[in-house]
């Protein structure tokens, strides 16, 4: 049944239409014994979920529980047609999908009880489940592009598998839904999007939340559409089988709408529906209708007793995941004191970056995804120029879909590929923040450290090009300190090839910030009176200091600002009457504080400067950490003015950190000291 009804139709009319469909399906004369396995699985799902509600009422579990009572057969019908190697991505209402796919109801109970034997070691609880072939997250639609990326990874490996994503109709309000439909269709991902249409988005009636045709939304992106409901079991199983077979055979995405009705509240007790409305569907529900059927009553009772007994026994033997193990992350926090001189080859920074990334494309079958990265354009700043000509099957030039393309890259990364997503301008990375924050950075921990997400998201940041307010901000402060997310900033002070290789060896997700002004600089060649060194290996910190001199002023910065300071090194010495040392971490998060502390031990004054606007940024965080270790120095922070970057080049220059401002800050420290 298509929801091709006028927007002005009321929720009552929609529910009445649905009720007619349900009555027709429930009234069919079907021998349900032929579907015994499917019905018993659905009943087990229901009893597990109602047990959760009981345990919640007894304060034995915390958080929230979103049950699929009334909808159990959707997951059962889909799982029946899946093969080993297929993946399901699910949402907040995931218990039924999980049990149907894995059969591990015991591990699910353990998970909600917070036990280390749970699916996600008791960390993810109700909404965040992981097992081979299954992954769920509570943010609406966030796993859709991840599933599409998984499907593309299956195609690249020549696997006959597919990815299946469950969403509710409320997710039709999320833009990521349409980004994914578009990208899946363009690239041909074997991705089946399953819409469980229960006519309510949490408590908002569908008539107030979804306009136009549901089917038309999918058809607009060229997806083959299938429709069925949960009251006609024969048709449900057949239609699910057809949809799965279509995706598996064509290696193309499809859309399956399953009309259903949720019998319980959205979450525990938040239900504003009329009781009489719910009762209509309770009477038509298949499991309710079979409750007194002699064919099933004995098996139903045995399942209920088994779930009760297991739950009560587990309450007596509750063991938590070791927090000391949980709290560790994947970030390269250990620092080395090994110091080596830096000897840069010739070459322009952007071209050297191009070669560094190209080695991953060629040697490690890297996947590169981004807007306009195809040849001959090669990206807005030409970092990926030539990649598509070399490896056309490894380069995905996408639509304007920052969240979608990062999600695809995450899907490739969790499937074992070296995946690189390019955001055309750093300002636009905010469009992908859900993917970065709620997927990439959290996967490792919230699934009990059972999976990694080593995706690389790279983007040009910074001003000094006259691009104006929405294409010039340095917003790395929004990324710093996110759990388990590495943030790096290469600089033309040093050949970035070792840094890129070192990042590739990490198991954590990472964001690489490449300053767009620095792209055109030749790699730095220090004069004879200056020594450029690197401390700590490939990911280490750069230090530029006078040969044989004793620094008294440390300037700590990164990226293009580090190059700016290096180029004006002698001027800073001359006008401040202080011997400077430039300290340029390549890692912004985690900050190698031990390197900085070591280099400032004999320094009186420290300026920490960043490209981003002043206040609550990288420089503040660095100074805070240094103060806890070294209170002998006098510190100052320096950032851009807290306003959007103006387009006019003169005004732009006035708003940014400059050599003049660095010198003025150093002189002010001297005056304050006096």
In a domain, 545, yes or no: yes
Q: Which pLDDT band, with edges at 50, 70 and 90, does 673 fall under? A: low
For 491, 563, 567, the CA distances from 533, given in Å and listed in that order, are 14, 14, 16
Residues 10-16 have a mean pLDDT of 87
In a domain, 303, yes or no: yes
Q: Tell me: do 557 and 631 sit in the same domain.
A: yes
pLDDT at position 2 over 80: no
Share of the chain above pLDDT 90, in %: 87
In a domain, 235, yes or no: yes
Q: Domain of residue 380: give its range.
A: 339-520
Q: Tell me: do 251 and 279 sit in the same domain.
A: yes
| Rounded Cα gap, residues 474 and 620, in angstroms | 15
8 A C-beta contact, residue 61 and residue 52 = yes
In a domain, 330, yes or no: no
Of 315, 347, 379, which marks where a domain is finished? 315
Residues 538-556 have a mean pLDDT of 95
Give exposure, 161-192, as e/b (b: 16+ Cβ within 10 Å): bbbbbbbbbbbbebebbbbbbbbbbbbebbbb
Helix extents (H) in 497-539: 497-504
In a domain, 239, yes or no: yes
Q: Tell me: do 118 and 225 sit in the same domain.
A: yes
CATH code, domain carrying 397: 3.40.50.970
> Whole-model pTM?
0.96
As a whole number, the mean pLDDT across the chain is 94
User: Strands 395-398, 339-341: parallel, antiparallel or unpaired by DSSP?
Assistant: unpaired
Which segment, 15-29, 62-76, 142-156, 352-366, is predicted with the most confidence on average? 142-156
Q: What is the CA radius of gyration of the chain?
A: 29
In the prediction, which pLDDT does 674 show? 58
**What pLDDT digit, counting tens, does each position of 245-269 carry?**
999 999 999 999 999 999 988 887 7
Q: Which pLDDT band, with edges at 50, 70 and 90, does 7 fall under? A: very low
Q: Tell me: do 478 and 600 sit in the same domain.
A: no
For 3, 113, 663, the CA distances from 498, given in Å and listed in that order, are 56, 45, 32
Q: Tell me: do 47 and 156 sit in the same domain.
A: yes
| Rounded Cα gap, residues 622 and 583, in angstroms | 12
Of 495, 520, 545, which marks where a domain is finished? 520
DSSP 96: H
Q: Tell me: do 439 and 564 sit in the same domain.
A: no
**41: which 2 tokens?**
């699985």
Could you give the number of structural domains in the chain?
Answer: 3
8 A C-beta contact, residue 383 and residue 330 = no
Q: Characterise 13 by phi-psi region: left (phi > 0), alpha (psi -120 to 50), beta (else).
A: alpha
How many helices (H) and strands (E) the chain has is answered by 25, 23
Q: Which pLDDT band, with edges at 50, 70 and 90, does 53 fall under? A: very high
Cis peptide before 590 (omega within 30 of 0): yes
Q: Tell me: do 482 and 567 sit in the same domain.
A: no
| Rounded Cα gap, residues 136 and 129, in angstroms | 5
pLDDT at position 3 over 60: no
Apex 523 CA angle, 517 and 526, nearest 5: 120
Q: Tell me: do 541 and 498 sit in the same domain.
A: no
Helix (H), strand (E) at residue 453? none
8 A C-beta contact, residue 318 and residue 122 = no
pLDDT at position 8 over 60: no
Place of tokens 């560094």: 356
**429: which 2 tokens?**
């990375």
Sign of the torsion formed by the C-alpha atoms of 150, 84, 181 and 72: negative
Cis peptide before 54 (omega within 30 of 0): no
**What pLDDT digit, counting tens, does each position of 576-633 carry?**
999 999 999 999 999 999 999 999 988 999 999 999 999 999 999 999 999 998 778 8
Residues 6+ apart with CB under 8 A from 466: 647, 648, 649, 652
Share of the chain above pLDDT 70, in %: 99
| Rounded Cα gap, residues 549 and 547, in angstroms | 6
DSSP string, 188-244: T--EEEEEEE-SEETTEEGGGT--S-HHHHHHTTT-EEEEEESS-HHHHHHHHHHHH
**What pLDDT digit, counting tens, does each position of 488-536 carry?**
999 999 999 999 999 999 999 999 999 999 999 999 999 999 999 999 9
Q: Tell me: do 109 and 167 sit in the same domain.
A: yes
DSSP string, 102-142: H--HHHHHHHHTT-TTSTTTTSSTTT--EETTEEE-SSTTT
156 by Cβ neighbours in 10 Å (0-12 / 13-18 / 19+) ranks as middle
Q: Tell me: do 302 and 344 sit in the same domain.
A: no
User: Strands 200-201, 254-259: parallel, antiparallel or unpaired by DSSP?
Assistant: unpaired
Q: Tell me: do 369 and 302 sit in the same domain.
A: no
Place of tokens 């209170």: 631
pLDDT at position 5 over 50: no
pLDDT at position 672 over 80: no
In a domain, 69, yes or no: yes
Give the residue among 127, 106, 131, 5 at the shortest CA–CA distance from 47: 106
In the prediction, which pLDDT does 363 show? 87
In the prediction, which pLDDT does 22 show? 83
In a domain, 557, yes or no: yes
In a domain, 208, yes or no: yes
Q: Which pLDDT band, with edges at 50, 70 and 90, does 16 fall under? A: confident
pLDDT at position 4 over 80: no
Of 464, 491, 520, which marks where a domain is finished? 520
Q: Tell me: do 305 and 357 sit in the same domain.
A: no
């Amino acid at each position: 049944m298509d929801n091709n009804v006028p927007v002005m139709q009321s929720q009552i009319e929609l529910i009445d239409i649905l009720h007619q469909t349900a009555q027709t399906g429930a009234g069919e004369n079907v021998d349900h014994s032929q579907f015994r396995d499917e019905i018993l699985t659905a009943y087990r799902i229901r009893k597990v979920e109602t047990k959760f509600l009981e345990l919640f009422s007894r304060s034995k579990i915390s958080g929230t529980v979103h049950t699929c009572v009334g909808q159990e057969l959707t997951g059962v019908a889909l799982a029946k047609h899946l093969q080993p190697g297929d993946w399901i991505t699910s949402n907040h209402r995931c218990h039924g999908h999980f049990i149907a796919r894995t059969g591990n109801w015991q591990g699910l109970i353990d998970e909600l009880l917070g036990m280390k034997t749970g699916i996600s070691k008791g960390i993810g609880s109700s909404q965040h489940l992981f097992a081979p072939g299954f992954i769920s997250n509570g943010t609406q639609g966030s796993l859709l592009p991840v599933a599409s990326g998984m499907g593309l990874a299956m195609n690249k490996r020549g696997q006959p598998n597919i990815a299946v994503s469950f969403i509710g109709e409320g997710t039709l309000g999320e833009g990521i839904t349409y980004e994914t439909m578009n990208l899946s269709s363009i690239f041909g991902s074997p991705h089946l999007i399953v819409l469980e249409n229960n006519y309510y988005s949490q408590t908002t009636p569908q008539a107030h939340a979804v306009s136009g045709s549901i089917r038309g939304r999918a058809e607009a992106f060229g997806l083959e559409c299938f429709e069925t409901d949960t009251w006609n079991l024969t048709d449900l199983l057949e239609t699910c089988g057809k949809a799965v077979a279509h995706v598996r055979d064509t290696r193309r995405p499809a859309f399956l709408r399953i009309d259903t009705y949720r019998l319980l509240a959205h979450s525990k007790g938040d239900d504003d529906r009329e009781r009489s409305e719910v009762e209509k569907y309770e009477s038509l529900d298949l499991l309710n209708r079979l409750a007194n059927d002699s064919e099933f009553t004995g098996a139903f009772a045995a399942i209920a007793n088994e779930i009760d007994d297991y739950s009560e026994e587990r309450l007596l033997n509750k063991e938590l995941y070791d927090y000391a193990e949980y709290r560790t992350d994947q970030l390269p926090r250990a620092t080395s004191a090994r110091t080596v001189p830096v000897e840069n080859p010739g070459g322009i920074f952007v071209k050297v970056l191009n070669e560094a990334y190209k080695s991953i494309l060629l040697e490690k079958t890297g996947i590169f995804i981004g807007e306009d990265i195809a040849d001959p354009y090669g990206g807005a700043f030409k970092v990926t120029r030539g990649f598509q000509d070399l490896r056309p099957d490894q380069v995905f030039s996408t639509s304007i879909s920052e969240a979608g393309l990062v999600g695809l890259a995450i899907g490739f990364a969790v499937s074992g590929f070296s995946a690189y997503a390019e955001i055309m301008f750093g300002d636009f990375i905010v469009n992908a923040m859900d993917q970065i924050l709620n997927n990439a950075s959290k996967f490792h921990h919230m699934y009990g450290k059972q999976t990694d997400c080593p995706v690389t998201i790279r983007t040009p940041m910074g001003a000094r090009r006259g691009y104006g307010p929405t294409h010039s901000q340095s917003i790395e402060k929004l990324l710093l300190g996110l759990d388990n997310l590495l943030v790096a900033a290469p600089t033309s002070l040093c050949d970035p090839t070792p840094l890129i290789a070192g990042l590739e060896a990490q198991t954590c997700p990472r964001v690489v910030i490449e300053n767009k002004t620095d792209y055109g600089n030749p790699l730095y060649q220090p004069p004879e009176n200056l020594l450029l060194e690197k401390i700590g290996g490939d990911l280490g910190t750069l230090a530029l200091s006078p040969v044989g001199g004793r620094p008294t002023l440390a300037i700590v910065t990164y990226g293009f600002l580090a190059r700016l300071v290096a180029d004006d090194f002698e001027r800073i010495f001359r006008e401040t009457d202080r011997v400077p040392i430039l300290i340029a971490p390549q890692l912004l998060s985690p900050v190698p504080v031990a390197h900085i502390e070591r280099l400032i031990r004999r320094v009186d004054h420290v300026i920490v400067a960043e490209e981003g606007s002043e206040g609550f940024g990288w420089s503040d965080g660095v100074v805070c950490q240094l103060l806890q270790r070294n209170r002998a120095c006098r510190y100052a922070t320096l950032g851009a003015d807290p306003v959007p970057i103006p387009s006019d080049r003169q005004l732009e220059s006035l708003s940014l950190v400059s050599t003049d401002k660095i010198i003025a800050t150093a002189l002010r420290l001297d005056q304050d000291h006096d």
